[in-house]
Amino acid sequence: MPVPIPRQRAIPAAESGQAQGAFSPGGPSGEATGGPAGAVPAPHAATTPVDSTTNLTLLVIEDDPAGSLSVPEMLDAAGKPIRIRTARNLTEAERLLTDDVHCILLDLALPAPGRVATESDDELTTLKHVLRLAPRHAVLALTASGDAERGAEAVRVGAQDYLFRDELDGRLLSRAIRYAVERKRSDKAERRLTESRLRAQENARLERGLLPTPLLEGSSLRFAARYRPGRSRALLGGDFYDTVRTPDGTVHAMIGDVCGHGPDEAALGVELRIAWRALTFAGLCGDELLSTLQQVLEHERENDEIFATLCTVDIAPDGRRAGLCLAGHPSPLISRPGRPAELLPYENGGPALGLLHGARWPRQQVELGGEWSLMLYTDGLIEGHIGEGKERLGQDGMVDLVRRRLAEGLAGEELLRATVNEVRELNGGELADDVAVLLLDRTP
């Protein structure tokens, strides 16, 4: 037999869990009797996940003075009784909307809170209020028989389904409840996926905007770069580089590597790159510039164990000579016509930034010649393995690799692409560390 919805207006307590039991006339409003009562938890909590051990709970919100509405006995898919909780108005409903409610059955004829419905009111004002009140709950709209248009509008506004008031039966309602709960769960999963994609796109735009744009207007040097962050699905890692031309015609290039390759290291790398560009345009060079960058690093890093390696090159306006500073970083590779590619001298390098307070980084003069190609890189390019063994490529292996590619006539972007791809193939897959490679060419 259908169970009438009780009419008492006392403050409701927790449901009994027995939907098919008779309601006690002397019991609290909104409850099916026959089970223990308890304190009502705070509203607005997330709905309890439904599994094979969880009873579905239905909150019915309706105000029917004639008492014609009755909710039939219902069982869930596992044969367990669907628990029923009732509210005569939205104020009561808010108190009953606890974290164990899975679905709401709302009578669309219920007036909006604090007012009497009129013909000029939006017919779905109450539904919209419930949807705002319970954004994470499934909602079924209850409408007059044959009023499919209003029911469809309720679904368009946000309800999961609609039912006709005088056609309720246990099988139809229990199936509708299960369907509404699963559809709400699917909608939430789809929304989370969409939000995740939007965040990923936003992060990608942000990271792409943080990658450097070389400022070489007026220079005859050709620029190329390759960048592969080590962390999955990222555009930015702990490696960083930049190239600018100052008003006196000097071209300054830099490449660096913050230890680690997570988002914090990527952010610190961006800070160091921007600081380097600003200090370079301010006229700092060599030891003075690196000493100031170390101060930036010491102020911005999360702990004293964070350090960064750095290589800076300042190329004279005539392009034939350069100043080189190394802070714990691998030495650049230079190739010139008629001579094998080789590493620039490393004897006068200093420690990585952030390791020794008050350290110094001497600037050494390097003769480049009239035609040359200078490659700056991070250690991610040389620390990949060769095959399945523990042997690493190393600087010597990288030099041999670049020499072969140069002998094939590769230059610029093609040279960098082929070099990075071969290093990756030798490693047997993606490299674990960030990789940044910067190439400057001077041709007559």
Residues 430 and 352 in one domain: yes
Q: Of 189, 220, 240, which one is at a domain's C-terminal end?
A: 189
Residues 185 and 218 in one domain: no
State the pLDDT confidence band at 203, using cuts at 50, 70 and 90. low
Q: Is residue 104 part of a domain?
A: yes
pTM of the model: 0.60
State the pLDDT confidence band at 205, using cuts at 50, 70 and 90. low
97-129 confidence digits (pLDDT tens)? 888 898 999 988 887 665 554 443 466 888 999
What pLDDT, on a 0 to 100 scale, did the predictor assign at position 223? Answer: 96
List of long-range contacts for 356-362, beta carbons under 8 Å, 24+ apart: 357/298, 359/291, 359/294, 360/287, 360/291, 361/286, 361/287, 361/290, 361/291, 361/325, 361/326, 361/327, 362/286, 362/287, 362/325
Q: In Å, what is the CA distance from 441 to each residue of 222, 240, 295, 318, 381?
A: 5, 20, 32, 13, 20
Q: Report whether 15 contacts 32 (CB < 8 A).
A: yes
DSSP helix/strand/coil, 198: helix
Q: Of 135, 155, 189, which one is at a domain's C-terminal end?
A: 189
Residue 88: domain span: 57-114+121-189
**10 Å Cβ neighbour count for 39?**
7
Q: Is residue 272 part of a domain?
A: yes
Helix axes 148-157, 125-133, angle to 10 degrees: 30
Residues 292 and 259 in one domain: yes
Token code pair at residue 193: 């996926």
What pLDDT, on a 0 to 100 scale, did the predictor assign at position 387? Answer: 76
pLDDT at 64 over 70: no
State the pLDDT confidence band at 207, using cuts at 50, 70 and 90. low
221-252 confidence digits (pLDDT tens)? 999 999 988 766 566 788 999 999 999 999 99
Q: Is residue 391 part of a domain?
A: yes
DSSP code of 166?
G
Helix axes 263-281, 286-300, angle to 10 degrees: 140
Residues 245 and 313 in one domain: yes
What pLDDT, on a 0 to 100 scale, did the predictor assign at position 425? Answer: 93
Q: Provide mean pLDDT across the span 379-401.
A: 91
Q: Is residue 195 part of a domain?
A: no
Q: Is residue 10 part of a domain?
A: no
What pLDDT, on a 0 to 100 scale, did the predictor assign at position 211? Answer: 75
Q: How far apart are CA 104 and CA 58, in angstroms?
A: 6
Q: What is the CATH number of the domain that holds 80?
A: 3.40.50.2300
Q: Is residue 178 part of a domain?
A: yes
Residues 145 and 246 in one domain: no
Residues 185 and 316 in one domain: no
What pLDDT, on a 0 to 100 scale, did the predictor assign at position 185? Answer: 85
Residues 173 and 233 in one domain: no
DSSP code of 89?
S
Q: Provide mean pLDDT across the span 435-441.
A: 96
Residues 294 and 171 in one domain: no
Q: Is residue 397 part of a domain?
A: yes
Average pLDDT of every residue of the chain: 81
DSSP code of 24?
P
pLDDT at 278 over 90: yes
Counting the structural domains of the chain, the total is 2
Residues 152 and 218 in one domain: no
Give residue for tokens 């002998």: 407
Which residues lie below 8 Å from residue 234, measured CB to CB, with a gap of 6+? 207, 263, 266
Q: What is the CATH number of the domain that holds 360?
A: 3.60.40.10
SS3 content of the chain, % helix, strand, coil (to 5): 30, 25, 45
Residues 353 and 313 in one domain: yes
Residues 132 and 229 in one domain: no
Q: How far apart are CA 111 and CA 114, in angstroms?
A: 8
What pLDDT, on a 0 to 100 scale, did the predictor assign at position 49? Answer: 55
DSSP H stretches of helix in 282-393: 286-300
149-176 confidence digits (pLDDT tens)? 989 999 999 999 898 887 777 778 888 8
Q: Is residue 13 part of a domain?
A: no
Residues 315 and 413 in one domain: yes
